[in-house]
Structure 1
């Protein structure tokens, strides 16, 4: 863990925040969040822990625009 500060009130936790804290790429975080199988199990567990700890929630508006 790198000790990234949790964003203050009114700021959303981003994939980038999670990636920096977990020490992985943004794409790896995206794969874990989307349940893609192409991630090492230990890495997926570490990323999931950071997602939970930081309180990351996907932006539903952005997801709806994706198609």
Structure 2
């Protein structure tokens, strides 16, 4: 996520919002982040996401 954020010129939280499908991101910013995700080949780590959900409970 750090690399995607740097490439897109946004915060890691913004990348997180886009990757998680949250709607607090403007369409333009979302597109920039999605382009960076594709360009860098970012793939969300589902195991880490599941672990995070378990720990946050």
The TM-score with structure 1 as length reference comes to 0.75
Give 5+ residue unaligned stretches, structure 2.
Answer: none
- After the TM superposition, which segments of 4 or more aligned residues of structure 1 sit over 2 Å from their partners? none
Is 1:56 aligned with 2:18?
no
Higher helix content, 1 or 2: 2
Q: 1:64: how far off?
A: 1.6
- How many pairs align? 53
Cα root mean square deviation, aligned: 0.7
- Could you list the runs of 5+ residues in structure 1 that have no partner in the other structure? 1-14
TM-score, normalised by the number of residues in structure 2: 0.87
